[in-house]
């Protein structure tokens, strides 16, 4: 994280980019959108509703491991679509560690499948995954555009992934009745401490989603919507804790990472690197939108697996914009943008380091003595990624061409 | 100012009989009242002295006890001194030198400086035998003058710290540290290597934390758990987990010449009730907030 900020200023010191240009390159809409979301989530988290959901899920599954895994997969995907993949993983992985500890089974399959679910769910909406947030802010696409174009393929991919889970994990995991009984004795109702705050913050969250869907009419940018919701929730919750929320609950490391990243990408633009790459891709695909979409989808899918998908998409955005200029056909650009979104978000599942959620989840598992190796993750991740990219390919081809 | 200047040779004496603390106190008060005008009667003075002693021990690890009475409107400091041939037991601490101080309620700084000087004398291996072999107050005064013991040095952590602190090696097991905590009633111990080099601290919360994995800390609200097995399993890990795995190494320490305020500042800043005293990397003692409260504030 620090490397990005150091890099951001290094390009200024070395004279590659003027400070003024580097600072203007920072997309403050993204930065404040992230801060607003972090505020909303910090208040929602305090209501205990996420933990309630997770424990309730395990109990609804009757403590049966495969069922818990499938339901957790769904819950993770849905929560990620609205809260973001990283946050969801941070909230749910500790609970899965607790549940698997009680059931005396390995948490690793659960963690791996949940990470995969979080990247899938995140791909479905504009606010779900960092790559989509970046694309949404850089383009004219709005919340509803993402919903109409990306949610359908993600729903299909999620359903097919559940089938995959059943095939891969059906024979594993036995749980004794004694351990299951202990899980069933959890009193999840006690987790909701402040009902009033829960109702209020749910209403605010709902209003925020409505405002995002009506962006076109309201003429409000995403950062304004999320900051309004975040600040309002901060006001109606415990006001004595405002300072602690601002210092501890906002993930400043992520914020600074993004700031540095924008500056670094600006240096790629300024040096002409982006222009040259864009020209090459347009030349290679002979300016055909279908070829270009497929190339972007699979290249993004593969690259996002090998390197973190956030810096990748940050560099791809100016390139796709340049491609749009070169191809000079606005309609032809739609499938290319959606290919980029699907490719980067879903490609993040390819390896252990493909997306931020993967790194965060594996980090938590490691700290608790469960070591997930690169190979262990990649074997499972690659299967799901391949499945996702094949479905995305079919979707793009059928829907747009 | 020399310490000797505050002393009156008539109030310094050597006690050869075997007496109780109460008898010695009576005697000392009698001597003080015979040569000074004290605004309250002798038996009231004695009651105050006993009350102060009951509150907390006035004895220090060097074998000196400094009982103290504060009187409002007294506007003076009177010091009585008694050298005991037969040490008196102060709750486990042997005391062979009692110094009784009567001062004004407002002059606590001077009082603390006198205490600092007395403690310095009590630690002085060359001076103490000389003082002990004098026969009367004049001799004591002369020896103190000759040694140039002054009353202006500020009290340091070295004066009030506990010197013979128990320590534990990083290779000790949870079982060992657990039984020390259990038997001695300690809640924190310094960790040192065999050579006494300070490495860190291990406290009762470090110990309990072994039973609470990291993911539980991340969950934040554990109301829904009625019982939790890992906490019960803590004691199965007793021989496997070592002190070095659970000790904290980022604690602030102070040196023995640090001021009292510095130690208090560090303790408040880091929300701790004790602090290790480390000189040149070696552990030399420990001081607790309660020591400071009793020996400085309530002194």
* pLDDT, tens digit (0-9, with 9 covering 90-100), for A150-172: 999 999 999 999 999 999 988 76
Measure Cα distances from B254 to A138, B248, B262 in Å: 54, 16, 8
Q: Are strands B282-288 and B274-279 parallel, antiparallel or unpaired?
A: antiparallel
Phi-psi region of B63 (alpha: psi -120 to 50; beta: other; left: phi over 0): left
Q: For residues A127 and A37, is the Cβ–Cβ distance under 8 A?
A: yes
Instruction: Check residue A394 and give its pLDDT.
Output: 95
Q: Do A191 and B224 touch (CB under 8 A)?
A: yes
- Within 8 A of A97 by CB-CB distance, chain B residues are 213, 215
Residues of B with CB under 8 A from a CB of A: 213-216, 218-221, 223-226, 229-230
Average pLDDT over residues A342-362: 92
Give pLDDT tens digits for B4-63.
888 999 999 998 898 898 999 999 999 998 888 888 888 888 998 888 888 888 899 889
Interface test with B, best of A59, A86, A101, A107 (most B CBs within 10 A): A101
User: What confidence category does residue A399 fall into, taking pLDDT thresholds of 50, 70 and 90?
Assistant: very high
- Within 8 A of B245 by CB-CB distance, chain A residues are none
Cα B163 to Cα B286: distance, rounded to the nearest angstrom: 7
* DSSP element (H, E) containing A253: helix A252-270
> Is the CB of A51 inside 8 Å of chain B's CB atoms?
yes
Average pLDDT over residues A51-56: 89
Q: Measure in Å the smallest separation between the Cα of A166 and chain B Cα atoms.
A: 27
Q: Where do the DSSP E strands lie in A166-279?
A: none
> Is the CB of A49 inside 8 Å of chain B's CB atoms?
no
pLDDT at residue B299 tops 70: no
From the list B218, B223, B230, the residue facing A191 with the nearest CB is B223
- Within 8 A of B215 by CB-CB distance, chain A residues are 93-95, 97-98, 364, 367-368
Instruction: Check residue B233 and give its pLDDT.
Output: 66
SS3 B14: strand
Cβ neighbourhood burial of A66 (10 Å; 0-12, 13-18, 19+): middle
From the list A51, A97, A369, the residue facing B221 with the nearest CB is A51
Q: In terms of CA atoms, which chain A residue is nearest residue B226?
A: A186
pTM of the model: 0.73
Phi-psi region of B166 (alpha: psi -120 to 50; beta: other; left: phi over 0): beta
Structure tokens, A247? 């210092």
Instruction: Check residue B191 and give its pLDDT.
Output: 95
Instruction: Check residue B282 and give its pLDDT.
Output: 93
From the list B214, B219, B229, the residue facing A51 with the nearest CB is B219
Q: Measure in Å the smallest separation between the Cα of B216 and chain A Cα atoms.
A: 7
* Reported ipTM: 0.72
Number of neighbours of residue B184 by Cβ within 10 angstroms:
10
Residue contacts between A and B (CB atoms, under 8 Å): 48
Instruction: Check residue B112 and give its pLDDT.
Output: 84
User: What confidence category does residue B253 fall into, taking pLDDT thresholds of 50, 70 and 90?
Assistant: very high
Cα A74 to Cα A83: distance, rounded to the nearest angstrom: 14
Rg (CA), chain A: 21
Q: In terms of CA atoms, which chain B residue is nearest residue A56?
A: B224
User: What confidence category does residue B230 fall into, taking pLDDT thresholds of 50, 70 and 90?
Assistant: low
Q: For residues A154 and A123, is the Cβ–Cβ distance under 8 A?
A: yes
Q: Do B221 and A101 touch (CB under 8 A)?
A: no
Cα A338 to Cα B289: distance, rounded to the nearest angstrom: 64
Instruction: Check residue A356 and give its pLDDT.
Output: 87
> Is the CB of A7 inside 8 Å of chain B's CB atoms?
no
In b/e form, how buried is each residue of B143-168, taking b as 16+ CB within 10 angstroms? bbeebebbbeeebbbbbbbeeebebb
Q: Name the one residue in this structure whose structure tokens are 């501890």.
A: A248
Interface test with A, best of B220, B223, B231, B241 (most A CBs within 10 A): B223
Average pLDDT over residues B105-116: 81
From the list A93, A185, A368, the residue facing B213 with the nearest CB is A368
Instruction: Check residue A177 and give its pLDDT.
Output: 86
Q: Name the one residue in this structure whose structure tokens are 């399959």.
A: A109
Instruction: Check residue B57 and give its pLDDT.
Output: 83
User: What confidence category does residue A103 fall into, taking pLDDT thresholds of 50, 70 and 90?
Assistant: confident
- Within 8 A of B209 by CB-CB distance, chain A residues are none
SS3 B227: coil
Start-to-end CA span in chain B (Å): 22
Q: Which of A160-164, A335-339, B117-121, B278-282 has the lowest mean pLDDT?
A: B117-121
Q: Which residues pair with B82 in a beta bridge?
A: B13, B98
Instruction: Check residue B189 and give its pLDDT.
Output: 93
Cα A361 to Cα A110: distance, rounded to the nearest angstrom: 11
Please, what sign has the CA dihedral across residues A324, A327, A332, A336? negative
Q: Do A185 and B226 touch (CB under 8 A)?
A: yes
Q: Are strands B188-192 and B198-203 parallel, antiparallel or unpaired?
A: antiparallel
Q: Do A191 and B221 touch (CB under 8 A)?
A: yes
Quote the crossing angle between the two packed helices A49-60 and A85-103, to the nearest 10°.
Answer: 50
- Within 8 A of B240 by CB-CB distance, chain A residues are none
Average pLDDT over residues B105-127: 85
Say what percent of chain A tops pLDDT 90.
50
pLDDT at residue B128 tops 70: yes
Measure Cα distances from A233 to A88, A126, A143, A208, A251 in Å: 19, 22, 22, 11, 17
> Is the CB of A94 inside 8 Å of chain B's CB atoms?
yes
The A residues from 266 to 325 touching B (CB cutoff 8 Å) are none
Among residues B204, B228, B296, B222, which one has the least CA distance to residue B259? B296
Q: In terms of CA atoms, which chain B residue is nearest residue A55?
A: B224
Instruction: Check residue A174 and give its pLDDT.
Output: 79
Among residues A148, A139, A104, A65, which one has the least CA distance to residue A399? A148
From the list A55, A187, A367, the residue facing B214 with the nearest CB is A367
Give pLDDT tens digits for B276-297.
999 999 999 999 998 888 877 7
Say what percent of chain A tops pLDDT 70.
100
Average pLDDT over residues B166-179: 91
- Within 8 A of B210 by CB-CB distance, chain A residues are none
- Within 8 A of A45 by CB-CB distance, chain B residues are 220
pLDDT at residue A65 tops 80: yes
Cα A133 to Cα B218: distance, rounded to the nearest angstrom: 26
Instruction: Check residue A298 and give its pLDDT.
Output: 94
pLDDT at residue A287 tops 90: no
Q: Name the one residue in this structure whose structure tokens are 């010449």.
A: B257
pLDDT at residue A136 tops 70: yes
The A residues from 166 to 185 touching B (CB cutoff 8 Å) are 182, 185
Instruction: Check residue A396 and give its pLDDT.
Output: 94
pLDDT at residue B106 tops 70: yes
Q: Do B224 and A364 touch (CB under 8 A)?
A: no
**Mean pLDDT for all residues in chain A:** 90
Give pLDDT tens digits for A214-259.
888 888 889 999 999 999 999 888 778 888 888 888 889 889 999 9
Cα A333 to Cα A331: distance, rounded to the nearest angstrom: 5
A313: DSSP letter: H
Number of neighbours of residue B77 by Cβ within 10 angstroms:
14
Q: Are strands B78-90 and B93-104 parallel, antiparallel or unpaired?
A: antiparallel
- Within 8 A of B223 by CB-CB distance, chain A residues are 187, 190-191, 193
Instruction: Check residue A108 and give its pLDDT.
Output: 93
pLDDT at residue A368 tops 90: no
User: What confidence category does residue B151 fall into, taking pLDDT thresholds of 50, 70 and 90?
Assistant: confident
């Amino acid at each position: 994280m620090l490397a990005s900020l150091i890099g951001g200023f290094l390009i200024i010191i070395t004279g590659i980019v003027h400070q003024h240009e580097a600072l203007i390159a920072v997309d403050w809409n993204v930065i404040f959108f992230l801060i607003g979301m972090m505020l909303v989530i910090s208040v929602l988290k305090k209501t205990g509703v996420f933990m309630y959901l997770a424990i309730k899920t395990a109990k609804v599954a009757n403590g049966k491991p495969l069922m818990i895994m499938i339901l957790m997969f769904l819950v993770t995907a849905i929560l990620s679509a609205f809260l973001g993949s990283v946050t969801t993983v941070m909230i749910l992985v500790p609970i899965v560690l607790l549940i698997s500890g009680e059931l005396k089974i390995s948490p690793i399959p659960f963690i791996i499948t949940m990470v995969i679910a979080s990247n899938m769910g995140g791909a479905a909406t504009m606010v779900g995954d960092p790559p989509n947030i970046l694309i949404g802010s850089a383009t004219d696409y709005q919340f509803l555009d993402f919903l109409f174009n990306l949610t359908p393929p993600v729903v299909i991919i999620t359903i097919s992934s559940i089938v995959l889970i059943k095939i891969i994990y059906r024979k594993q995991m036995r749980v004794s009745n004694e351990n299951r009984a202990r899980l069933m004795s959890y009193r999840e109702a006690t987790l909701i401490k402040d009902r009033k705050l829960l109702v209020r913050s749910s209403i605010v969250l709902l209003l925020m989603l409505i405002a995002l869907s009506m962006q076109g009419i309201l003429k409000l940018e995403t950062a304004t919507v999320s900051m309004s919701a975040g600040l309002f929730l901060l006001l109606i919750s415990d006001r004595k804790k405002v300072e602690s929320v601002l210092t501890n609950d906002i993930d400043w490391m992520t914020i600074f990472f993004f700031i540095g990243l924008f500056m670094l990408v600006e240096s790629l633009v300024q040096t002409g690197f982006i222009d040259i790459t864009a020209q090459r891709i347009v030349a290679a695909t002979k300016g055909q939108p279908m070829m270009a979409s497929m190339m972007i989808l699979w290249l993004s899918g593969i690259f996002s697996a090998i390197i973190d998908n956030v810096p990748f998409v940050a560099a791809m955005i100016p390139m796709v914009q340049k491609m749009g200029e070169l191809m000079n056909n606005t309609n032809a650009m739609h499938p290319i943008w959606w290919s980029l979104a699907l490719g980067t978000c879903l490609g993040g599942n390819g390896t252990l380091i493909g997306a931020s959620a993967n790194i965060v989840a594996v980090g938590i598992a490691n700290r608790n003595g469960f070591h997930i190796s690169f190979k262990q993750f990649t074997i499972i991740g690659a299967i799901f990624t391949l499945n996702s990219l094949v479905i995305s390919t079919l979707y793009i081809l059928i829907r747009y061409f | 100012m020399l310490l000797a200047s505050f002393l009156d040779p008539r109030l310094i004496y050597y006690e050869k009989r075997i007496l109780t603390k109460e008898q010695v106190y009576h005697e000392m008060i009698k001597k003080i009242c015979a040569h000074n005008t004290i605004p309250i009667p002798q038996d009231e003075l004695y009651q105050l002295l006993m009350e102060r002693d009951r509150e907390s021990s006035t004895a220090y690890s060097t074998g000196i006890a400094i009982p103290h009475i504060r009187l409002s409107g007294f506007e003076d400091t009177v010091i009585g001194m008694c050298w005991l041939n037969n040490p008196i037991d102060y709750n486990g601490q042997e005391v062979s030198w009692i110094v009784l101080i009567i001062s004004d309620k407002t002059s606590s700084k001077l009082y603390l400086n006198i205490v600092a000087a007395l403690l310095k004398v009590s630690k002085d291996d060359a001076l103490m035998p000389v003082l002990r072999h004098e026969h009367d107050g004049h001799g004591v005064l002369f020896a103190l003058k000759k040694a140039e013991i002054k009353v202006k040095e500020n009290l340091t952590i070295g004066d009030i710290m506990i010197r013979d602190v128990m320590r534990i090696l990083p290779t000790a097991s949870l079982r060992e540290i657990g039984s020390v905590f259990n038997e001695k009633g300690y809640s924190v111990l310094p960790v040192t290597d065999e050579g006494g080099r300070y490495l860190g601290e291990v406290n009762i919360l470090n110990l309990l934390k072994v039973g609470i994995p990291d993911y539980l800390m991340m969950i934040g609200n554990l109301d829904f758990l009625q019982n939790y097995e890992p906490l019960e399993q803590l004691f199965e890990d007793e021989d496997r987990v070592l002190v070095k795995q659970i000790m904290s190494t980022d604690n602030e320490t102070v040196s023995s010449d640090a001021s009292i305020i510095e130690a208090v500042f560090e303790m408040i800043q880091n929300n701790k009730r004790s602090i290790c005293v480390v000189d040149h990397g070696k552990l030399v003692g420990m001081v607790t907030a309660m020591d400071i409260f009793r020996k400085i504030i309530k002194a």
